[in-house]
Structure 1
């Protein structure tokens, strides 16, 4: 029998009715809309709409190497995705604007016995705009069911760096690959149509992620998508020298840019992606990456 597609699997999960919510329960359908615009040579956050559980910090101008860039942190009091959650995030960067969007902490996907949790992210970058979307890792707890869909739309002269790190459990508790299913996909488009699509489907009970040719004896998977005028060789050399992670870079289809992928422990993977971010940033906007402080 053919393996069930991830789309079919999550459609089946969606038919499972949730238990009644507690009185006053909120945050199952969280939404965030953020828009940035170039104003007098600087970037400003011009739209900020958020519903529970999300909150967006005001703009932070702390990047000395790139003073025209605006940084914001997406915050959530729970920092988690629970069964039945449907979260929608939209980030728009206007013409000539530069923005960095990250999260205040890792996103924990809790265990589930019904339905599933889903996060949709829509990123749009106008001509001469630049976006860095670099959230903290997603941690998949035991019995988690998670679907993440990201769409990146870039104008002809736009550029973007988008990152993702997946941690397969609470590793300090020796919990690894005990989630039920995790499917993430990024689709990138320009005005002419689809540039590329990249998907990861992890279903440990059916296909062991630790088998040879997949993740082997590594736990954490990280990916960085560099969309714009970037070459794979410098990025490959940089990440290969940066950490002990097994990492490499490859050119994306349709001359869209470069993808970097890393396997290892959490620190090594984060180090590899940070090195790739720094190298890509120097190429795209002529500035090094700042230290990623959360305090």
Structure 2
């Protein structure tokens, strides 16, 4: 009887281990023949990249996690390289869902690079964290002098419209952004294991469960500060610095749910993304 139980437990553990996601994809964009074009594309496992035929510049790419979500033990990596003078906007097919973790944590590794005179809009749709999920993301961006980038990450802790609550779990987000080999932005966000209690504190989120961080590195940043503040209103803020001869606009948004967050996030992304506007999938 004991032997049978042990064998069953081992079988269950092996099944869980064998089903973990280990996927990575890379896209390289170059400026050629008067417009931004695909130079190289690599896909492995559940990580896929699709290129809608927009017929316009910048090139638009859509990231897809074919696993349908993440849970403990999953590993997902995205790499984007934009060459000199090229322009690209990267988004996701849908919100990334992080489910309850039985063991370990889900890890996402993002690596971005932009050449001189290039532009990258890193605009994934929201990450939705479920109760008892465990998630860790690292984002490293390397911008050449004169390169521009808009980096956006939004997170929703549970879908309140579905009656979901996130009481516990862990969520980590680490950003390192460099321009001309100089560190211009670094932040580490962590909440857990008592997520609901931590977000309820006035000094953290005051009970709001949806939030977004937007970082624009561009010569356009100073002119966009006041329009951005008008969109953000009282639930968030925006600041501006001059770094390495370029502007850095950092904006935060907070909301009581994902729907309310998106009502301000969409026009803010549209403003900061310039002529590229909003990815088509964001408006569906």
Fold shared, TM-score > 0.5 on shorter chain: yes
Runs of 4+ in 1 over 4 A off after TM superposition: none
> Does 2:22 match 1:29?
yes
> Does the CA-based 8 Å contact 1:185-1:198 persist in structure 2?
yes
> Does 2:33 match 1:45?
no
Give 2:102's aligned residue: 113
**CA shift for structure 1 position 252:** 4.5
CA distance in 2, matches of 1:70, 1:261: 27
Give 1:278's aligned residue: 270
**CA shift for structure 1 position 243:** 6.5
SS at match of 1:275: helix
| Larger radius of gyration between Structure 1 and Structure 2 | 2
> Does 2:78 match 1:89?
yes
How large is the RMSD of aligned CA atoms in angstroms? Answer: 2.4
> Does the CA-based 8 Å contact 2:158-2:209 persist in structure 1?
no
CA distance in 2, matches of 1:168, 1:39: 42
> Does 2:180 match 1:180?
no
**CA shift for structure 1 position 256:** 4.8
Question: Given the alignment, which residue of 205, 224, 227 partners 2:194?
Answer: 205
Unaligned runs of 5+ in 1: 1-17
Question: Given the alignment, which residue of 205, 216, 219 partners 1:229?
Answer: 219
CA distance in 2, matches of 1:220, 1:138: 10
SS at match of 2:14: coil
| Aligned residues between the structures | 268
Question: Given the alignment, which residue of 25, 42, 53 partners 1:60?
Answer: 53
- Change in 2 beyond 3 A, CA 1:129/1:192: same
Give 1:75's aligned residue: 64
**CA shift for structure 1 position 213:** 1.8
> Does the CA-based 8 Å contact 1:82-1:116 persist in structure 2?
yes
CA distance in 2, matches of 1:44, 1:59: 12
CA distance in 1, matches of 2:189, 2:178: 19
Question: Given the alignment, which residue of 237, 253, 256 partners 1:262?
Answer: 253
SS at match of 1:19: helix
> Does 2:281 match 1:293?
yes
Which whole-Å deviations, capped at 9, do the CAs of 1:60-85 have from their partners, x for residues lacking one? 325xxxx3211011112333112101
CA distance in 1, matches of 2:180, 2:231: 35
How do 1:184-199 residues align onto structure 2 when only pairs under 5 Å count?
Answer: 184-199=173-188
Quick check: which one's strand share is greater? Answer: 2
CA distance in 1, matches of 2:279, 2:43: 27
**CA shift for structure 1 position 200:** 1.4
Unaligned runs of 5+ in 2: 1-11
> Does 2:238 match 1:238?
no
Quick check: which one's helix share is greater? Answer: 2
> Does the CA-based 8 Å contact 1:103-1:136 persist in structure 2?
yes
> Does the CA-based 8 Å contact 1:176-1:219 persist in structure 2?
no
